Amino acid sequence: MNTLESLFPTSPEYKGSWYSVYLEPIIGSGEKITVAVIAIGADKQHRVIQAIRPELLDCLYGSQASQMQSMIDWIIESANTEISSYKKINNWLPPFDGIELGQKYDAADENIEGILKQAIRISASLSTLALDADREDDEEQPRKYTENWTRSISEEVKLIDPHFASNFNKKLQVSDTKIFTSYGFLTENYVSNFGLLVPSRLSASLNAMKAKLFDLESLKKSQLLIKPQQYEIIVGTPSYDDPTLSDRAINRLQDTVEMVKELAQAEEINLIQAQNAKQAAKHLYDVAA
């Protein structure tokens, strides 16, 4: 290699391509947003991911956010099925009107996650805003996310075994006061609280998590004659490989998880990480059944 060539990094070895998936929320308006991105590697590996984080959907669409999320989930499932069946996306027929597949862009990176990050950065401005914005002054929003997280876990558990429905959101009087404390899931031998770490609101999320741990600690140290033997906090977090998260956001998320884990371990409370409600529900059923 000559001196000039040594000044430049080598070209990434992983080759592939990516596409944006646009949604027109109001048909005929001409307004389109990138709701998903698709990456297909030269090795035929593929991934389809959501380009707008759920917390941003809540901010944009309020009470309609769940319907928008369902539409995006449907789009992603349809695109995944198409690529799995035909190894390409060119002839994909979207599941409903108002969806448009963007043009193909060739790309190279260390892996398919790197190509997805390129797609997000270049084509999804709403995702980029969500990654880089630090909105830590709103305590109400993380509480709302945690409530949605708890509700989602409850619905998934009911699908596994409806008999556990009555074990959610149980209230106990754990002190001499007449104040009742609410717990996410409670049986005679097991109790867990649920928390959600929102990448763009980590400080507020951490405060909410500390409160959940304190409630578990209060029950553990209470004078109740009958109380659970096993204590857990089930924490919802994105994957550390999530392409919609910047390196800075991932580092902060990892640091926050470690902090919560240390606080939990000090009180002999298990911390369980889950990337979605279905994963959390399966764990809950396995330990409580």
Instruction: Determine which of 53-62, 132-141, 188-197 has the lowest per-residue pLDDT on average.
Output: 132-141
C-alpha 203/C-alpha 183 separation (Å) is 22
Residue closest to 267 by CA, chosen among 227, 208, 217: 217
- Asked if 230 and 174 count as a contact pair (C-beta separation under 8 A), the reply is no
Together in a domain, 241 and 222: yes
What's the whole-number mean pLDDT along residues 258-266?
94
What range does the domain containing 90 cover?
Answer: 5-132
**Of 64, 98, 132, which residue is a domain's last?**
132
Residue 248, pLDDT above cutoff 70: yes
Residues 6+ apart with CB under 8 A from 117: 109, 243
101 shares its domain with 215: no
Mean residue pLDDT across the chain: 87
What is the pLDDT at residue 129? 47
| Three-state secondary structure call for residue 280 | helix
Whether 88 and 170 map to the same domain: the answer is: no
Q: Are residues 110 and 229 in the same domain?
A: no
Cα-atom radius of gyration of the chain, to the nearest Å? 22
Answer with the one of 86, 110, 132 that is the final residue of a domain: 132
Q: What is the model's pTM? A: 0.74
Residue 219's contacts (CB-CB under 8 Å, 6 or more residues apart) are 172, 174, 181, 183, 191, 227, 228, 231
pLDDT at 3 over 70: no
Of residues 139, 132, 119, 133, the one with CA closest to residue 50: 119
Distance CA 32, CA 250 (A): 28
Of the residues 68, 100, 132, which one is the last residue of a structural domain? 132
* pLDDT score at 203: 85
Q: Check residue 70 and give left, alpha or beta (phi > 0: left; psi -120 to 50: alpha).
A: alpha
User: Which pLDDT value is given to residue 123?
Assistant: 86
Whether 155 and 259 share a structural domain: yes
Of 168, 264, 165, residue with least CA distance to 216: 264
Interatomic CA distance for residues 262 and 169, integer angstroms: 25
**Paired residues of 274 in beta bridges:** 236
Which tens digits make up the pLDDT trace of 76-105?
999 999 999 999 999 999 999 999 999 999
Residues 105 and 187 in one domain: no
Residues 6+ apart with CB under 8 A from 29: none
Q: Are 19 and 102 in contact (CB under 8 A)?
A: yes
pLDDT tens for 105-162 read 999 998 999 999 899 888 887 765 444 444 444 555 557 778 888 999 999 999 999 9
Judgement on whether residues 186 and 284 belong to the same structural domain of the protein: yes
Residues paired with residue 223 on neighbouring β-strands, in sequence order = none
d(CA 89, CA 73): 17
Q: Tokens 């209470």 correspond to what residue?
A: 222
pLDDT digits (tens, 9 = 90+) for 172-181: 988 777 789 9
What are 199-232's pLDDT values in tens digits? 878 888 888 899 999 999 999 988 888 899 999 9
Rounded distance between C-alpha atoms, residue 220 and residue 180, angstroms? 15
Specify whether 21 is located in the same domain as 46.
yes
Decide if 239 contacts 114 (C-beta within 8 A).
no
- Total domains in the chain come to 2
Q: Are residues 125 and 161 in the same domain?
A: no
